[in-house]
Amino acid sequence: AVCSMGNSTSRLYSVLAKTLSSGAVSQHQDCLEQLDSARLDPLDPKDLLEECQIVLQKRPPRFQRNFVNLKKNTASNHRPIRVMQWNILAQALGEGKDNFVQCPMEALKWEERKCLILEEILAYKPDILCLQEVDHYFDTFEPLLSRLGYQCTFFPKPWSPCLDVERNNGPDGCAMFFLKERFQLINSANIRLTAMKLKTNQVAIAQTLKCYETGRLFCIAVTHLKARTGWERFRSAQGCDLLQNLKNITQGATIPLIVCGDFNAEPTEEVYREFSNSSLNLNSAYKLLSPDGQSEPPYTTWKIRPSGECRHTLDYIWYSQHALNVNSALGLLTEEQIGPNRLPSFNYPSDHLSLVCDFSFNQDPDRLL
Q: Could you tell me the pLDDT band of residue 225, with boundaries at 50, 70 and 90? A: very high
* Interval 281-290: pLDDT, tens: 999 999 999 9
pLDDT for 58: 94
Residue 85: what are its φ and ψ, rounded to 5°?
-115, 135
- pLDDT over 80 at 6, yes or no: no
- pLDDT over 70 at 29, yes or no: no
pLDDT for 18: 56
pLDDT for 4: 32
pLDDT for 77: 80
CA of 365: how far to CAs of 11, 83, 216, in Å?
47, 21, 9
* Interval 280-324: pLDDT, tens: 999 999 999 999 999 999 999 999 988 889 999 999 999 999 999
pLDDT for 40: 72
Residue 37: Cβ within 10 Å count: 9
Question: By mean pLDDT, which of 5-19, 24-38, 144-158, 263-277 is the weakest?
Answer: 24-38
Q: For 194-215, what is the mean pLDDT? A: 96
pLDDT for 12: 54
pLDDT for 74: 64
Report the distance separating Cα 171 and Cα 153, nearest Å: 15
- What size, in residues, is the chain? 369
Structural domains of the chain in order of their starting residue, each with its CATH number: 83-364 (3.60.10.10)
pLDDT for 200: 98
Report the distance separating Cα 81 and Cα 211, nearest Å: 9
244 DSSP β-pair partners: none
pLDDT for 276: 98
282 DSSP β-pair partners: 320
Kindly report the pTM of this predicted structure. Answer: 0.90
Distance from chain centroid for Cα 124: 12
- pLDDT over 60 at 260, yes or no: yes
